[in-house]
Amino acid sequence: MSRVEPASGVTFDAYAPVLIVGAGAAGLCAALAATEAGADVVVLERDPLPRGSTALSAGLIPAPGTRFQRQHGIEDSAEVFAADIQRKNGHEADPAYVAAVAEAAAPAIEWLADRYALPFSLVHDFDYPGHSARRMHGLPSRSGAELVDRLREAAEGAGVPILADATVTTLFADPDGAVRGVALERPNGTTERIGCEMLVLACNGYGGNPELVRRHIPEMDGALYFGHPGNRGDAVLWGEALGAELRCLGGYQGHGSVAHPHGILISWAVIMEGGLQVDAAGRRFSDESHGYSEQAATVLRDAGGVAYDVFDERIAAVARQFEDFRQAEAAGAVLAADTIEELAAMAKLPAAVLAAQLDEVERLKASGGADAFGRSFAGSRPLRPPFRAVRVTGALFHTQGGLAVDASARVLRRDGGALPNLFAAGGAAAGVSGSTAAGYLSGNGLLTAVTLGRIAGAAAGRLALGTCG
Ligand SMILES: Cc1cc2nc3c(=O)[nH]c(=O)nc-3n(C[C@H](O)[C@H](O)[C@H](O)COP(=O)(O)OP(=O)(O)OC[C@H]3O[C@@H](n4cnc5c(N)ncnc54)[C@H](O)[C@@H]3O)c2cc1C
């Protein structure tokens, strides 16, 4: 149960100038930056080993103007990236905030690569919806598990203590909102109190709190939650009690392509490279190219919760760079057949309907036309045997609403100004996606985890040193 209690009279068992709640990408980047600033840091993590939603992700981080893009001859800039983010969210996010994270992204990727030896490379072989340049960066396995493991190793190497099995339940605050420390609970029920100068909330959003999802994102009420179950909305609940401004609580990252019932992410590359989605009657039901995030609710609403991604072996070869896709193949989630009729039989779809849908799509590809839903197939390559299909559903990945922060990641108050010593990063902070699933541009999640984590840690570290002398 997350609470805020008066700090007056509370004694602490230990003290850390900078305390960070959560050891996902945001918390670990904050820990590295605060340590570099010269501050002593402690990270508190509820799990035995840091995982978070970061470990469940594909670990892909968008960044414009990196040397990894230049190696592939790709020109890009923070301005173009910021414009892409704003176009996708309908210009709902604060332009100064968007500009700050867009500018911070490439330096953050190169910082992690150069200083902590994270071997990033560019995903250079397909486009993500809404990005006007290829700018997704990932580690060799293209998995978030590798990302969080490498960040944890970097933090351990920098001497950052990560207190595992430590669920923060309570913040102790002064009447002006200054947080003096926290209480944490151990798995055996014992509690400890740790005092701090600066507190960074990096405990993600409220995807793991069904009550908050029902209240703020009714269209995903009861949907499969594919993020980390420990992300129960503590940051917004504490922030609300401290007088923080909450923003865009209806915003989220969904995904319309999670293998079902296997529960494995199927990369949206299967659609963007020329694949299609049909319902259980074998019919297309949407313009799949808008984006995978909004497709989650579309699959739930318009396809009755179950759809089929249909693509071919060429596309499967592109998707195979992702660990998730390889696992889906190993688990038998990816059906393979030499003809559409055979594929339909395997997927239990009406063969004639599926074949007609595919014919129409192939005609549109050949003519460069658009379908009745508005999807343009211009430039899309034809599907060729052998074919592939995966049964999928729509899922909630993570929430994008949260604590309003400024460009230094300081948490803002409802009545103006910033709270004295509170920072938020990653899913704990309101992101750059506005208040709907459609506002989510691929990579917005790790973008604010890595950039705001670094910004929050550096600022908290500097301020803690100033305060402690
Ligand atoms: C399947 C999937 C795929 C995704 N793919 C991508 C992608 O490719 N690119 C992208 O940009 N985004 C992606 N995302 C979103 C991305 O994973 C998140 O936006 C990002 O990981 C958020 O990082 P974080 O550090 O804020 O949170 P997390 O990584 O979730 O870390 C939060 C940590 O806080 C801990 N915690 C929570 N509450 C407490 C508490 N009270 N006390 C102590 N600890 C606590 C949790 O245990 C957790 O370890 C994906 C998400 C999912 C689910």
Mutate-to-test residue for ligand 1 from 47, 53, 60, 179, highest number of ligand atoms within 8 A of CB: 53
pLDDT confidence band for 356 (50 / 70 / 90): very high
313 lines ligand 1 (CB under 6 A): no
Nearest to 407 by CA among 355, 454, 352: 454
| Ligand 1 atom closest to 26 (CA) | 25
312: Cβ below 6 Å to ligand 1? no
Say how far apart CA 108 and CA 363 lie, in whole Å. 44
Q: Does 249 score more than 90 pLDDT?
A: yes
Provide, rounded to the nearest whole percent, the portion of the chain with pLDDT above 70: 99
| Residues in the chain, overall count | 469
In the prediction, which pLDDT does 248 show? 97
pLDDT of 467 strictly over 70:
no
Mutate to test the pocket of ligand 1, among 57, 209, 267 (most ligand atoms within 8 A of CB): 57
**Helix or strand run (H / E) with residue 335:** strand 334-337
Do residues 25 and 147 lie in contact, with contact meaning Cβ atoms separated by under 8 Å? yes
Q: Is 234 in the pocket of ligand 1 (CB under 6 A)?
A: yes
pLDDT tens digits for range 101-144:
999 999 999 999 999 999 999 999 878 889 999 999 999 999 99
Residue 397, ligand 1, Cβ within 6 A: yes
Residue 63: which of 17, 113, 116, 21 has the closest Cα?
A: 113
Q: Is 298 in the pocket of ligand 1 (CB under 6 A)?
A: no
Question: Is the C-beta atom of 57 inside 6 A of ligand 1?
Answer: yes
Instruction: Decide if pLDDT at 469 tops 50.
Output: no
- What residues contact 320, with CB distance under 8 A and at least 6 apart? 326, 329
Interval 429-458 mean pLDDT: 97
CB 62 within 8 A of CB 104: no
Query: Is 25 touching ligand 1 by the criterion CB < 6 Å?
Result: yes
Atom 19 (ligand 1) nearest CA: 445
The alpha carbon of 14 and the centre of ligand 1 are apart by a number of angstroms equal to 27
Whole-model pTM: value is: 0.92
DSSP notation for 344-364: HHHHT--HHHHHHHHHHHHHH
Q: Is 194 in the pocket of ligand 1 (CB under 6 A)?
A: no
pLDDT score for 127: 83
With the most atoms of ligand 1 within 8 angstroms of its CB, the residue from 147, 203, 399 to mutate is 203
Does the C-beta of 56 come closer than 6 Å to ligand 1? yes
Question: Do 36 and 458 contact (CB within 8 A), yes or no?
Answer: yes
pLDDT value for 170: 98
Q: How many A from CA of 307 to the centre of ligand 1? A: 26
Q: Could you identify the residue written with the tokens 């990196």?
A: 66
pLDDT above 90: residue 289: no
The response to whether residue 454 sits with its C-beta less than 6 Å from ligand 1 reads: no
* Other Cβ atoms within 10 Å of 399 Cβ, number: 34
Is residue 354 over pLDDT 70?
A: yes
Q: Confirm if 251 and 436 have CB atoms less than 8 A apart.
A: yes
Task: Give the C-alpha distances (Å, rounded to integers) separating 373 from 128, 254, 376.
Answer: 20, 20, 9
Q: What is the pLDDT of residue 129?
A: 84
Which positions ≥6 away from 275 have C-beta within 8 Å?
309, 310, 311, 312, 315, 383
**Span 440-457, average pLDDT:** 97
Sequence-distant (≥ 6) Cβ neighbours of residue 215 within 8 angstroms: none
Q: Is the pLDDT assigned to residue 468 strictly greater than 60?
A: no
The answer to whether 276 touches 312, Cβ cutoff 8 Å, is: no
Helix (H) and strand (E) counts for the chain?
Answer: 15, 21
